[in-house]
Structure 1
Amino acid sequence: MRVDFHTHVIPKNLPDFAEKYGGKWPTLEQTCACGANIMVEGNLFREVTDQVWDPDKRIQDMDREGVDIQVLSPVPVTFSYWADTKAAVEMSKIQNDFIAKTVTDNPARFVGLGTVPMQNAKSAIQEMDRCMHELNLNGIEIGTNVNGENLDAPQFLDFFEKAEEWNVPLFIHPWETMAKDRTPRHNFMYTVGMPSETALAAASLIWSGVIEKFPNLKICFAHGGGSFPYILPRLDQGWKVWPHLRLTTHPPSHYVQNFYFDSLSYDSLNIKYLIDRFGHERVMMGSDYPFLLREIPPGKVIDEMDDLSKEQSEKILGENALRFLNVKEKRLNHETESFDSRGETARSGV
């Protein structure tokens, strides 16, 4: 069972909110039958292919590349945390309905994550409730910051409290990255800004005491956690030498037991480091399909690691993601895999 935890989708018929509401809403401009441009304020944000909206094309790629299940999540530029709450709720619902329908139409191949308007905690909770309890999605994707506010800001506490109460898996993906004025050249926003942004989000949640307050939050950080895994010892040292800044009972490394990381780091040494520091049960295969920086085929680096046991490889390639997402049962090729509350697997009929 191979599960690609990190893939993105966008509705082909995304309404033109820029025309409707004004502002920097992303729009999808078709360039041909098999491609489009994501535009923001008249500027090209990203070129995309029909793989990003067409489930049939995705399934063809999955079959060719050996992926059994994709976990679908929105393209982060559509978060639109800057917008009026009412309009942002509308945008969230359009995407969540699209993802839910894609999953419903192809239940053996897709699992869905929703998006919520984080600029308003009450509305975010309401849409998370709808995603999880009406649309039957399996988690929520959120950004690393909300309009420049780190995720430890007090206004987000109610959201995290409900996510913990409802056992909602959260996928934290970088967006609106730091140092935007210093990273346009060389596309450093993607290669330097995003990993640094992710580290700041993770560090903020730990150092502030959010994770101590909500110890059962389930969080996965994109792109192998960015630079966070490598600066964790430095965070511990800061906690040690600055007692006047401490907001937690224990040093930062104490609070990572529920952190997960996708495997998108492109290098077996980085994967080995994640496994050594956090355990192979906390790493989930993810490719960033269908974008240019994705790993092809998904799981390539994991397959090339000769120091993983068969059990470890199977968990990283699929089982960990299904456990993280609370997936109880998936049918593939008429075979059933059941996952109990501890994440242990038992084949149907065995």
Structure 2
Amino acid sequence: MTVVDVHAHVFPEIGRAESRRITGREDGPWLRTTDGPDAGMMMAGASEYRPVRRTLWDPAARVTDLDRLGVDVQVLSSTPLLFGYGLEAARAADWCRSVNGHLLRYAAHAPGRLAPLCQVPLQDTEAACAMVTEAMREGFHG
């Protein structure tokens, strides 16, 4: 029997400068990974949002966990902090494309085991639909 985990989150190694550049905001989300070998902190600008484990940004660590837990496939989506709902539609689309690129690179570490779901700019229905179509061609599972 194949064991599938249908709800898991990823927070790629997005730095503060990348977040500022794409979101145009000082309080944009980014990942700080200097808290130790297995620790990170999701950040909202200069504010600490929530501590996280290495599996959130390191696909090799995630696959090791999947093996230990007996999970064959894991469906991945970005953490809600990355959704960009507060951004203007065009910036949200750029942000989603960037996050999606990170998600594809993350999942490429273990094709067939890590199944990424794309992120779309829900602020703009037409742009969201177009992004889903584009993302499916790029290798997303939904």
Distance in 1 between residues matched to 2:45 and 2:100, nearest whole Å: 24
Distance in 2 between residues matched to 1:91 and 1:115, nearest whole Å: 9
Q: Give the TM-score taking structure 2 as reference length.
A: 0.86
Aligned partner (choices 123, 126, 129) of residue 125 of structure 1 = 129
Deviates more, 1:69-78 or 1:118-127: 118-127
- Displacement, 1:138? 1.2
Contact 1:92 1:117 survives alignment (8 Å): yes
Q: Give the TM-score taking structure 1 as reference length.
A: 0.37
After TM superposition, list the pairs within 5 Å mapping 1:1-350 onto structure 2. 1-16=2-17, 19-20=20-21, 21-30=24-33, 31-132=35-136, 134-139=137-142
- Displacement, 1:17? 5.0
Contact 1:81 1:117 survives alignment (8 Å): yes
Q: Which amino acid aligns with 2:13?
A: K
Identity of aligned residues (%): 28
Distance in 2 between residues matched to 1:75 and 1:115, nearest whole Å: 10
* Greater length-normalized contact order (CA 8 Å, ≥ 6 residues apart): 2
Structure 2 SS opposite 1:105: coil
Structure 1 SS opposite 2:122: coil
- Provide, for residues 275-331 of structure 1, a one-character-per-residue CA deviation record: whole Å limited to 9, x for no partner: xxxxxxxxxxxxxxxxxxxxxxxxxxxxxxxxxxxxxxxxxxxxxxxxxxxxxxxxx
Structure 2 SS opposite 1:72: strand
Contact 1:2 1:66 survives alignment (8 Å): yes
Distance in 1 between residues matched to 2:70 and 2:77, nearest whole Å: 20
Q: Which amino acid aligns with 1:16?
A: A
Q: Which runs of 5+ in 2 are unaligned?
A: none
> Kindly tell me: are residues 3 and 127 of structure 1, through their superposed partners in 2, closer, same or farther at Cα, counting changes over 3 Å?
same
- Displacement, 1:14? 4.0
- Displacement, 1:5? 0.5
Q: Which amino acid aligns with 2:7?
A: H
Give the corresponding residue for 1:226.
none
